[in-house]
A and B are shown apart, each in its own frame.
Chain A
């Protein structure tokens, strides 16, 4: 039973436009959420996180939005760049417990 769901296996976005990656979760006890980026043959690298006490966190071109009532979070990348082409994983945890990842969304940035 998937507790963290990324329903879009892939997404294509024009360079310079906004990329929006979505994630849904089922466990209302989750209180910390993370986004990771993964290139082929490398381990995932941490991008940005958000605590459940916030609804937005911004770091440069990356912004994560959290909607607790809808159990939904999204990652916005603006403007999208060619180097952003990768697989993006959403993850969630309840403090002190294991971190659970979604299946990932492959982002293609088109020239």
Chain B
């Protein structure tokens, strides 16, 4: 079956613009995670969903970042008024539930100019 799909694969935007990143998880996976990887850095946790609710939003860097998940499936990560430090690869992953490995998409490379 299809894996985790993220779109767009690449996004270049001007500083101050809003961007929306999309994640289609594997069908039936209840957990959905967003991470980001800045140049030369590890995987930084942003937010995760169980179903449509987000038990932990502690990783969101600022109030410019928000995420939602509808119908227990697709998720969107929105960054408002983008800054250059937001440039990174944004990775989405899903899993069937507790103590199950995450399956990652290939990420969205965001460049803020």
Chain A partners chain B: yes
Interface of B is mostly: loop
Residues of B within 8 A of A6 (CB): 42
CB-CB under 8 A from A45, the residues of chain B are 104
Q: Are B91 and A44 in contact (CB under 8 A)?
A: yes
B48: A residues at CB distance < 8 A: 98-99
| A107 lies within 8 A of chain B by Cβ | no
Q: Do A102 and B107 touch (CB < 8 A)? A: no
- Mark the stretch among B12-20, B67-75, B80-88, B95-103 that contacts chain A: B95-103
Of B56, B99, B105, the residue contacting A98 (CB under 8 A) is B56
Query: How many A residues touch the partner, as a band?
Result: 20 to 34
Task: Count residues on chain B whose CB falls below 8 Å from chain A CBs.
Answer: 21
Select from chain A the residue with minimum beta-carbon distance to B95: A99
Contacts A42-B106, A43-B106, A45-B104 given; does A104 touch B99 at CB 8 Å = no
Contact of A96 with B56 at beta-carbon distance under 8 Å, contacts A42-B106, A44-B104 already known = no
CA A57 to CA B56, docked complex, whole Å: 30
Q: How far is the CB of A101 from chain B (nearest CB, A)?
A: 4
Interface status of A97 (Cβ within 8 A of chain B): yes
- Is the pair B45, A100 in contact by a Cβ cutoff of 8 Å? yes
In contact, A99 and B33 (Cβ under 8 angstroms): yes
Check B106–A98 contact: CB distance below 8 A. Answer: no
Docked CA distance A32–B42 (Å): 19
Chain A, residue nearest B50 (CB): A96
Contact bitstring A19-50, B, C-beta under 8 A = 1, else 0: 00000000000011010100001111110010
For B102, what are the chain A residues with a Cβ–Cβ distance below 8 Å? 34, 44, 46, 99
In the bound complex, CA of A95 to CA of B48 (Å)? 14
In the assembled complex, the Cα of A103 lies from the Cα of B44 at a distance in Å of: 8
Tell me whether A51 is interfacial, beta carbon within 8 Å. yes
5 other A-B residue contacts (CB within 8 Å) besides A44-B43, A89-B43, A101-B45: A44-B102, A45-B104, A99-B33, A103-B42, A104-B42
